Copies of this chain bind each other. A is one copy, B any other.
Amino acid sequence: MIIVMAKTATPDDITAVTDRLKADGFQVHISQGVERTIIGVIGERTEEVFRLGSMQAVEQVVPVRRPYKLVSRDFHPEDTVVRVGNVRFGGNRVVVIAGPCAVESRDQVMQAAEAISHMGVSVLRGGAYKPRTSPYSFQGMGLDGLKILAAAREKYGLMVVTEAVDHASLANVAEWADMVQIGARNMQNFELLKAVGQIGKPVLLKRGLSATIDEWLMAAEYVAAHGNPNIILCERGIRTYESKTRNTLDLSAIPVVKQLSHLPIVIDPSHSTGQWNWVAPMARAAVAAGADGLIIEAHPNPAEALSDGAQSLNLPHLAELVTSLAGIADAVGRSL
């Protein structure tokens, strides 16, 4: 940590700060600059230092170390590979997850699952518990939806990922699915993150709508610190001023996350663009930028979808997209 003293700070002010830091067990280094004094603070704890920001003579407290540990590449230099059944995220192969936004019926899921199982897609997605902006919107089929997903897994040999929204749904999802999704709106639902840390299934952790990369990694740190190291990060678009797209897909997050963390990262080009015909170019871009996987909304009949129809690919468009991804993967030294 670095403490920048105000220009008006007196020698007594500086001594007050350094005495307090020493009393709290920190080592200090003082640099007397042209206009301001800077105090380098050496030690593990950060909160004791941050609260010195309330002193009038302190202008700024600047953190130097990253706030996360277990998920940091400093701590674990090698890439982590997360296994979901026989599927590996973070290795040489780029994994495609696809399926409808919401589980609506057995027929709909089976039709989607059959189609994707022939395309090289290895994981089926579909929401049984749906966080919806309006209380009057379809809220998902719940446990019945999970059972439909499980049936599709049995029949078509796909892994299943689906969202949990609270403790009760988490218990069900952990029982019936292969991977638990934590949605963007719950990225800082810390009680849910602690609970996810205690289950034995891998987690797909979506980035919050306006989460910084540091906050996102701190959310992953919650899961890891509570016992679950099997975390896959998912960028799904951030909120900006631009309104042509539903959100702004932050593909730069891929190299940034790869530098800061050892965890795999997956991209959701469907929620970010919000429009089906922009999904394919962004999916290809994601693979070119080094993503470990994609999660794509596809529906047997988008115009009948109970949620997010406008951003869902139909199944022939999905097949076409998956085919086109192989060449990109190859060009960056990976395979599909």
Which of A91-99, A148-156, A217-225 lies at the interface with chain B?
A217-225
Mark out the residues of chain A between 256 and 283 whose CB falls within 8 Å of any chain B CB in the assembled complex. 256, 259, 272-273, 275-278, 281-282
Name the B residues within 8 Å of A330 (CB-CB).
Answer: 327, 331
Residues of B within 8 A of A213 (CB): 242, 244
A2 interface hit (Cβ, 8 Å): yes
Contacts of A242 in B (CB 8 A): 212-213, 238, 250
* A64 partner, pick from B38, B191, B276, beta carbons under 8 A: B38
CA of A286 to CA of B252, assembled, Å: 11
| Best-buried of A43, A190, A239 by chain B (most CB within 10 Å) | A190
Instruction: Judge whether A244 and B214 touch: CB under 8 Å.
Output: yes
CA distance A62 to B209 in the complex (A): 23
Interface of A: prevailing SS:
mixed
**Counting CB contacts under 8 A, is A137 at the interface?**
yes
A→B interface (CB under 8 Å): 2, 4, 7, 29, 31-36, 38, 40, 42-44, 47, 50-55, 61-62, 64-65, 67, 74, 131-138, 165-167, 169, 185-186, 188-192, 194, 209-210, 212-215, 218, 221-222, 225-226, 238-245, 248-252, 254-256, 259, 272-273, 275-278, 281-282, 284-290, 302-307, 309-312, 324, 327-328, 330-332
- 4 further interface pairs, Cβ-Cβ under 8 Å (given A31-B31, A33-B42, A38-B64): A32-B42, A248-B252, A255-B273, A331-B331
Query: Can you report 12 residue pairs joining A to B where beta carbons are below 8 Å apart?
Result: A33-B64, A54-B309, A165-B191, A212-B241, A213-B244, A241-B241, A248-B248, A249-B251, A254-B281, A255-B281, A284-B331, A284-B332
